[in-house]
Structure 1
Amino acid sequence: MVMVSWNWWAPVRTCTLPCGTTNNAGGRLYIIIKWVLVPANEVQFTQVKYDFQQVQAPRLAGLLLKLFTILIEAPLIGSLITGYLKKQNKMNEMLRNTVIPEPPMFKPEYPPQEQEAGVVDLEEEGKPEDRVKSALRCLPHHDPAGRWNSKSTSFRYWKIRDYAYAYRSGLTTPAMVAENVISAVEECKNMVPQIPLLISFDVEEVRKQAAASTQRFEEGRPLSILDGIFMAVKDDIDCYPHPSTGGTTWLHNVRPVNKDGVAVSRLRSCGVIFVGKTNMHELGLGATGMNPHHGTPRNPHDPQRYTGGSSSGSAAIVASGICPAALGSDAGGSIRIPASLCGIVGLKTTYGRTDMKGTLYSPGTVEVIGPIASSVDDVMLVYAAMLGSSPADKISLRPPIPCLPNLSSGAGSVDSLPLRLGKYTEWFNDVHSPDISDTCGKVLTSLSEIHGCEIVDITIPEIQQMFMAQVVSYGSESLCSLVPQCQNGEYKKLALDSRIPLALFQSLSASDYVAAQRFRRRSMYYHMEIFKKVDVIVTPTTGMTAPTIHPSALSCGESDLEVTGNLMKFSVTANVLGFPAISVPVGYDKQGLPIGLQLIGRPWGEATILRLAAAIEQQWQEPKKKPIIYFDILKAD
């Protein structure tokens, strides 16, 4: 028995080498290496070295992608390939050859949190429209009349309050706006290249909802500020009468939709008009938004680039102006990544803050539903309507009363409540283009100089292991949801790029899953220690701006895990640990592509990150770029 100690990953480990085992054939020596971690509470943060490594895998498209998929699904060769990929990315080192002293944490567990200051409580058990009314009182001053009559040529998105003003003033009606929405969706279908934003779109259903909303306004009884507001829903969230395909061609045949998901139902009670189901990366198994079945949505800022995913259509339909808001889901950044790449706002809520009933992967431990909108104001309104924990989460998580920052008064501003912002510099700067870290860094400097925020240097141990915990957790949970279909061969109907991660997920063992949950507990400890010193952790949202769409990927897909790793580099923390996080646009790179800044909050700390996001949005006064693909729905002729 040999004991050796050295620095490996971040903390000091102990390597144990039991050797000397021989077999009966005479003399073969087996050496088993195990890395033994010290307990998380003994890790010295000052000794931690940045350890994030790029995903190691080749880019595949066309015939190579097809051949690789055939091989990785083959019984013998497939296991060799997955074994090699896991070795290249140190999966076995982390999951199987490491002794982790912590017990597993199978879903996020939070210590009690203090009530945030400068907030307005929302009645979780009350009506969604009452929560929206409370949220409206929290918003800063906005002059819809001035906006409507303005002759300014600078570009700005229409806000929900602009729509509400237009309806209440008789300048237009939901029925009239519906025709503009329908025309825009049809125009996108006829563009070259096509812009396939929606998988399910029923013109008469849209007109029916708009007519009912118009009648409510004519009778003077709109349901809420959201009445007549057009929204789209990601295709893994149930919205009756539309099917939920999850971006596939077949899942709706084995999983019929009979009613709205809980979040959709709450929004519908506020008068929201649902346009249809948005395109998405198939089954959420990618971060670009590519979909060979239904077509790949194009980034409104550059149609030759991806929107990001997997909530690709939801982000694109908001960024193009067709809807002021949309619903997405987020298991590894799927709301924040496309929001960042499309230059809009995306909120991932705390795990358990919203009810996931009526989604493809419910129940799970990493995914949540959240709003995507063009402004922080609109995100707050939609969030207020849809929030509310499931009965099971209320028992197990004991969520505190939901609240919003009171942005209508000075008492709720960042100036009156200066925040401590945590920045892990090595991680923050580990981006594909320095434009991203430079732009995000300037925002932090401004927050410090203008609003008195304190920038605190932090260190986060075991980022690589946290990334791996997300992959294993989401992969195991998504595969579990698809087991019947995988067994009867339906998975062969999936796109090639979707079948590759499923093959990898199938190679994971029960012990891999448990090891990932042990890392989840370690990471939770590290972050809760960090949150004793800071209020918000700040990073770029993505490690790169919108990647180029290769023509070879459009027909049969593409597997580029290096791009996926760059897009997800900063997002998985909030999923593994269930923290709230928001992406807010802060500028553009040298190619004119949007850059997003991510704010990660304490458990249940939505109000804090919304307050800071609003300050950033207000601070960033330089003119926004009008997307190349944009429809002025509200004032369209």
Structure 2
Amino acid sequence: GVVTLGEDRDPVERVEEALQCLTPYDPSGRFTSSDEKNPFLYWKIRDFAHAYRSGITTPSAVAEHVIAGVEEWNNKKPPMPMLIYFDAHDLRKQADASTKRFEQGSPISVLDGIFFAIKDDIDCFPYPSKSGTTFFDKIRPVEKDAVLVARLRKCGVIFIGKANMHELGIGVTGNNPNYGTVRNPHSINRYTGASSSGPAALVSSGLCSAAIGTDAGGSVRIPSSLCGIIGLKTTFGRTNMTGVLCDCGTAEVASPLTASVEDSVLVYSALAGCRPMDKLTLRPLPLCVPNLVSSENNDILQSVKVGKYTEWFHDVSDIEISNTCEDALSLLRNTFGCQIEEIILPELLEMRTAHLVTIGSEGFCQLNAHYQEGRRTEMTLDTRGSLALFGSFTSADYVASQRLRRRMMYYHMEAFKKVDVIATPTTGMTAPKIPPSALKGESDYVVSAKLMQFIFAGNLLGLPA
């Protein structure tokens, strides 16, 4: 079952109610032994919450390990520039305030003292927002937190800084010559995926439990998949985009990247809630989270129908991808009783084109004034090439894409009459290797297309993914 949270409620209250929907916490699996070299590494939100309340550690103690960890990654050969802005003094200040709340017996919520990273296109005062460029803070100063950051801060979250990203979010590898390319923590010779490359790497490396990214073309899901973490692309309009660099398009959302599904539930419950104008135009359904302790869950799972378009499902560069995803479907069927149903989704190539024209046109519209004023010379060659392509799209192209968009929605709604969810791989390839020549910039549309193979419906149709 699900529990309705009420998006107009205080985020602290919503987080507390979401916490009651999770299975009882068992500390024995985490605290049976200690890792002297890497304490706190890969702890999840409730691990920290338990440790703080039990006196095992404090946010201030964890902050010192985070600071040391960031410095260690930055000094690696090759370096791992996961953060664009990092202020150890500010981090200690936030951690000290959280520690005092625990000493006084008055933590704000289960998120109090939890370390988060924020993607560089989301405002997090006092840090500037450059969106991975060298100049954007000069034309758009940050005066306050983005709405979703303010909600997290109200819950006691500690922000470690602004995370690296593909410049202006126009790319899905994470290549950024301005600040250095973020490398995959599991294999440093490979990309993280992007554009939320820094957020994914920080969570995957164990330095923080959660991060917030943005997703208009797989930018949360692709790096989450390649880095082995959980990336939730929320329903369009579900999160308030005020204070996010691209806040006026029809595809982009701000969403959590976390170490576990349970952590995603808690973070989502805190940051969700749409803008007043979106309530009028989008008429969103009530905000809810899954109730993982419901006695009805087994019966519900047995009734779930999972849609699978086999021809599309297996259109990947490596058979291990589809085999692994087949194993996941088998687990759902054999262990939980889910039903797997064959479906057909027509015109997928047309949907890919409609998505590209939509996000490209909307992105170029927002950046065009700066582009024409000469800022394009300050952008990377990769970004300039993409914007030149986007600028070639006409108004007729955009209108045609919206007509296709409506048709794609019809096809998907017909599929949802038959199934409850549609399952696909996240990407059409595993993490690509970083060519040595690419560190000064790279445009590889073949790799980008394969990484974006399965992400279009979530963005173009506004569906959660």
> So what's the TM-score if we normalise by structure 2?
0.97
Q: 2:112 aligns with which of 227, 231, 250?
A: 227
Q: Using the TM superposition, give the Cα deviation of residue 157 of structure 1 relative to its aligned residue in structure 2, in angstroms.
A: 3.2
Q: 1:485 aligns with which of 370, 382, 394?
A: 370
Q: Using the TM superposition, give the Cα deviation of residue 479 of structure 1 relative to its aligned residue in structure 2, in angstroms.
A: 0.8
2:464 is the counterpart of 1:575 = no
Match of 1:266 in 2: 151
Q: 1:528-567 to 2 correspondence within 5 Å?
A: 528-555=413-440, 557-567=441-451
Q: 1:382 aligns with which of 251, 259, 267?
A: 267
| Deviation string, structure 1 residues 574-603 (Cα, Å, up to 9, x no partner) | 00000000xxxxxxxxxxxxxxxxxxxxxx
**What SS does the aligned partner of 2:159 have?**
strand
Q: Which amino acid aligns with 1:544?
A: M
**What SS does the aligned partner of 2:189 have?**
coil
Q: Using the TM superposition, give the Cα deviation of residue 145 of structure 1 relative to its aligned residue in structure 2, in angstroms.
A: 4.4
Cα distance, 1:146–1:424 mapped onto 2, change above 3 Å: closer
**What SS does the aligned partner of 1:304 have?**
strand
Q: Which amino acid aligns with 2:131?
A: G
**What SS does the aligned partner of 1:558 have?**
coil
Whole-Å separation in 2 of the counterparts to 1:220 and 1:277: 30
Does the Cα contact within 8 Å between 2:313 and 2:425 map onto a contact in 1? Answer: yes
Whole-Å separation in 2 of the counterparts to 1:368 and 1:483: 21
Q: 1:203 aligns with which of 77, 88, 93?
A: 88
Q: 1:427 aligns with which of 295, 312, 316?
A: 312
| Deviation string, structure 1 residues 445-498 (Cα, Å, up to 9, x no partner) | 121111111111000011111111111111111111112211111011111111
Q: 1:197-346 to 2 correspondence within 5 Å?
A: 197-346=82-231
Cα distance, 1:444–1:146 mapped onto 2, change above 3 Å: closer
**What SS does the aligned partner of 2:133 have?**
coil
Cα distance, 1:356–1:417 mapped onto 2, change above 3 Å: farther
2:378 is the counterpart of 1:504 = no
Match of 2:26 in 1: 143
Q: 1:180 aligns with which of 65, 82, 88?
A: 65
Q: Using the TM superposition, give the Cα deviation of residue 163 of structure 1 relative to its aligned residue in structure 2, in angstroms.
A: 0.2
Cα distance, 1:201–1:156 mapped onto 2, change above 3 Å: closer
**What SS does the aligned partner of 2:306 have?**
strand
Match of 1:193 in 2: 78
Whole-Å separation in 2 of the counterparts to 1:455 and 1:205: 50
Q: Using the TM superposition, give the Cα deviation of residue 213 of structure 1 relative to its aligned residue in structure 2, in angstroms.
A: 0.4
Match of 1:456 in 2: 341
**What SS does the aligned partner of 1:348 have?**
coil
Whole-Å separation in 2 of the counterparts to 1:145 and 1:222: 23
Q: 1:14-93 to 2 correspondence within 5 Å?
A: none
Structure 2: which 5+ residue stretches go unaligned? none
**What SS does the aligned partner of 2:232 have?**
strand
| Deviation string, structure 1 residues 495-552 (Cα, Å, up to 9, x no partner) | 1111111000111100000000000000000000100000000000000010000110
| Deviation string, structure 1 residues 219-252 (Cα, Å, up to 9, x no partner) | 1111100000000000011100010100000011
Cα distance, 1:456–1:447 mapped onto 2, change above 3 Å: same
State the structure with bigger RCO (CA 8 A, min sep 6), 1 or 2: 1
Whole-Å separation in 2 of the counterparts to 1:193 and 1:151: 29
Whole-Å separation in 2 of the counterparts to 1:329 and 1:580: 13
**What SS does the aligned partner of 1:378 have?**
helix
Q: 1:385-464 to 2 correspondence within 5 Å?
A: 385-413=270-298, 416-464=301-349
Q: Which amino acid aligns with 1:317?
A: L
Cα distance, 1:228–1:170 mapped onto 2, change above 3 Å: same
Whole-Å separation in 2 of the counterparts to 1:437 and 1:412: 28
Does the Cα contact within 8 Å between 2:41 and 2:206 map onto a contact in 1? Answer: no
Does the Cα contact within 8 Å between 2:42 and 2:207 map onto a contact in 1? Answer: no
Whole-Å separation in 2 of the counterparts to 1:447 and 1:508: 43
**What SS does the aligned partner of 1:328 have?**
strand
Q: Which runs of 4+ in 1 moved over 6 A?
A: none
Q: Which amino acid aligns with 2:190?
A: R
**What SS does the aligned partner of 1:327 have?**
strand
| Deviation string, structure 1 residues 248-288 (Cα, Å, up to 9, x no partner) | 00011100000000110100000000000000000111110
Match of 1:83 in 2: none
2:236 is the counterpart of 1:351 = yes
Q: Using the TM superposition, give the Cα deviation of residue 156 of structure 1 relative to its aligned residue in structure 2, in angstroms.
A: 8.9
Structure 1: which 5+ residue stretches go unaligned? 1-117, 582-637
Match of 1:131 in 2: 14
**What SS does the aligned partner of 1:138 have?**
coil
Q: 1:581-600 to 2 correspondence within 5 Å?
A: 581=465
> So what's the TM-score if we normalise by structure 1?
0.71
- Give the helix-richer structure, 1 or 2: 2
Percent identity between matched residues is 58
Q: Using the TM superposition, give the Cα deviation of residue 159 of structure 1 relative to its aligned residue in structure 2, in angstroms.
A: 1.1
Cα distance, 1:415–1:396 mapped onto 2, change above 3 Å: closer
Q: Using the TM superposition, give the Cα deviation of residue 416 of structure 1 relative to its aligned residue in structure 2, in angstroms.
A: 4.9
Whole-Å separation in 2 of the counterparts to 1:485 and 1:195: 30
Larger Rg: 1
Does the Cα contact within 8 Å between 1:128 and 1:385 map onto a contact in 2? Answer: yes
**What SS does the aligned partner of 1:280 have?**
coil
Whole-Å separation in 2 of the counterparts to 1:413 and 1:252: 51
Let me know the Cα RMSD of the aligned residues.
1.5
Deviates more, 1:308-317 or 1:480-489: 480-489
Does the Cα contact within 8 Å between 1:414 and 1:451 map onto a contact in 2? Answer: no
Does the Cα contact within 8 Å between 1:333 and 1:568 map onto a contact in 2? Answer: yes
2:368 is the counterpart of 1:368 = no
